[in-house]
Amino acid sequence: MLAETFLDEFSQVHRPPRKRISREALRLLVSDDWPGNVQELRNVMERLMVTVQGDPIRPPHLPAGVQFEDSTSKAVTPPLGRPLREIELEVIRRALQEITSHRE
């Protein structure tokens, strides 16, 4: 609801046509933690209103931290002293697991 309100506000301030938010982008916006709270969301919506060409706003338009659901649970925090090769293999394994789980 806040994202839509901010888009209304910025369409009046900046005078571009009012943009819509795709269902997928809205789902990502809702699932984000928003550590900067409402002001962070407001800033993102203003930037999207001004910079996105076309309509609607889609997931690739969103900031990198918002483009992926639950990105913190998929983060790899390697222990100190672990060889880079092992870390790379773990990241690749996780990515392949993620891909195959979405196909099922």
At residue 101, the pLDDT reads 66
Q: For 59-91, write each residue's pLDDT tens digit.
A: 889 887 776 655 455 565 666 788 888 888 887
Q: For 20-63, write each residue's pLDDT tens digit.
A: 999 998 888 888 877 778 888 889 898 888 888 888 999 889 88
Q: How do the domains of the chain map onto residue ranges?
A: 1-67, 70-104
Q: At what angle do helices 2-14 and 37-51 cross, to 10 degrees?
A: 50
At residue 102, the pLDDT reads 59
At residue 22, the pLDDT reads 92
Q: What is this structure's pTM?
A: 0.58
Mean pLDDT of the chain: 80
CATH class in words for 1-67: mainly alpha
- What does the block give as tokens for 29? 């916006």
Residues 6+ apart with CB under 8 A from 34: 40, 41
